[in-house]
A = this chain, B = another copy of it.
Amino acid sequence: MSMPAEPLAQVLEEARRKGKLRAERFGDLAYLRLTDDLRRVPRGTVVHGGEAVYGYPRIGRILHLARGLREQFRHPVWVEEKIDGYNVRICRLGGRPVALTRGGFVCPFTTDRLPELLDLRLLEEEPDLVICAEVAGPENPYLEGGPPFIPEDVQLFVFDLMRRGRPGFLPREEVYARVEAYGLPAVPRYGRHGLEEVAALRALMKRLEEKGAEGIVLKEDAPEGRRAKYTTAYACVQDLRAGADAFTDLPPEYFTGRILRLALYLEEQGYAGEALEQVQRRLGAALVEGLLDAVARFRREGRVAQVYRCRLRSREAAEALLAHLRAGAGHAMRIVQRELRREGEHWRLVFERQPPSLNGLLGHLLRGGLVYD
């Protein structure tokens, strides 16, 4: 990521004129949030006290490892595991550490759990740092399910450091040094690889496949180096299974993109015979079982609601989370609290995201409606 071409103040002024800079509040903390990419300043950039926390830039995906390495990079790459969760930037804002979502909201859930997720001394010693991390696990308020190697609750995985007021990341060595020094939970690191080390990276992908990991992120070892992600067959199939719940609401590219990604992966990794057949079976089962499950729930409940569970440290945080989710849900989607009760050290929250009852294409079709295609 390189420096924006124009001074930030100018970009923010343009954003304000275009209605892309929104005023938000979190408790007594007031901040501004950039709602869309604008002149190389990423969506989700947050402004507080005249200073910006830059948004986390999007990382492009390669679908062919060997060709992608040659095409995208000029220098060796640091290889890190990609974790299937949601992205946060952790920084001090108004004197306290908060976690910002990709879109630039303070996340009431992650912010509440921060002291349990990582040691925050780093932010005290270097208060202008922004810790970029993935939060993943079966009990989170945004995504159904999580990586198979996280048995409960959520875990946090640091993968980048930025500085307040500056776009771009700290060099890998500086990130890794702080991860070590502060014992920060971090994404698994798989070292620095030359662009010709395709065989080693393919072998790594096979191991990640067996672990049920999402894939890798490649970070070029150069100032303002390029980045790319590359994901496993496992991740494709999991996404397809999870997406089947909302099959008629998700964009169709959600499904076709992952099917294509899967096929190109199997081709490059040389899947054949029984190994290939096994993935084909899993693909077919993910789509069909996912849809049959959604239909069964639709018949039982008149809708396919998604159920989320998570743990928080206080009732207030749980209520702030529900309010945050309600504000972000489309007008047709309801966020319905199912449970909120003390459980040991935590408050356990269970809630549903409910699409309107009997609505949409699935309802139309199950009622015997016609489609023209």
Q: Which residues of A contact B (CB under 8 A)?
A: 58, 60-64, 66-72, 228, 247-248, 251-253, 255-257, 259-260, 262-264, 266-267, 276-277, 279-285, 287-289, 291-292, 295, 365-373
Given known contacts A67-B366, A256-B255, A61 and B371 CB-to-CB distance under 8 angstroms: yes
Output the least CB separation between A343 and chain B (Å): 37
Report whether B264 and A64 are in contact in the complex, using a CB–CB cutoff of 8 Å: no
Report whether B266 and A288 are in contact in the complex, using a CB–CB cutoff of 8 Å: yes
In whole angstroms, how far apart are the Cα atoms of A291 and B252 in the complex? 17
Given known contacts A67-B366, A255-B252, A260 and B247 CB-to-CB distance under 8 angstroms: yes
- Of all chain B residues, which has the CB nearest A299? B267
Report whether B372 and A58 are in contact in the complex, using a CB–CB cutoff of 8 Å: yes
Report whether A256 and B252 are in contact in the complex, using a CB–CB cutoff of 8 Å: yes
Given known contacts A62-B369, A372-B61, A279 and B284 CB-to-CB distance under 8 angstroms: yes
In whole angstroms, how far apart are the Cα atoms of A66 and B288 in the complex? 20
- The listed residue (B251, B264, B368, B369) touching A295 by CB distance below 8 A is B264
What are the residues of chain B within 8 A of A366 when measuring CB–CB?
63-64, 67, 264
What are the residues of chain B within 8 A of A58 when measuring CB–CB?
372
In whole angstroms, how far apart are the Cα atoms of A62 and B366 in the complex? 9
- Of all chain B residues, which has the CB nearest A258? B373
Q: Which of A58, A64, A72 has the most CB of B within 10 A?
A: A64
- Sample of 9 further A-B pairs with CB below 8 A, known A60-B371, A62-B365, A228-B370: A64-B366, A66-B368, A257-B373, A259-B287, A263-B295, A266-B292, A279-B284, A280-B287, A284-B284
What are the residues of chain B within 8 A of A263 when measuring CB–CB?
287-288, 291-292, 295
Output the least CB separation between A265 and chain B (Å): 10
Name 20 interchain pairs, CB-CB below 8 A, sorted by A: A58-B372, A61-B370, A62-B369, A62-B370, A64-B366, A247-B260, A248-B260, A252-B252, A252-B255, A255-B255, A259-B287, A259-B291, A260-B365, A263-B287, A263-B291, A264-B295, A264-B366, A266-B292, A279-B284, A280-B287
What are the residues of chain B within 8 A of A372 when measuring CB–CB?
58, 60-61
In whole angstroms, how far apart are the Cα atoms of A60 and B369 in the complex? 9
In whole angstroms, how far apart are the Cα atoms of A265 and B61 in the complex? 35
Report whether B283 and A287 are in contact in the complex, using a CB–CB cutoff of 8 Å: yes
Report whether A71 and B256 are in contact in the complex, using a CB–CB cutoff of 8 Å: no
What are the residues of chain B within 8 A of A251 when measuring CB–CB?
252
Report whether B71 and A368 are in contact in the complex, using a CB–CB cutoff of 8 Å: yes
Output the least CB separation between A231 and chain B (Å): 11
- Of all chain B residues, which has the CB nearest A70? B368
In whole angstroms, how far apart are the Cα atoms of A256 and B253 in the complex? 9
Output the least CB separation between A68 and chain B (Å): 4
What are the residues of chain B within 8 A of A282 when measuring CB–CB?
284
Report whether A367 and B67 are in contact in the complex, using a CB–CB cutoff of 8 Å: yes
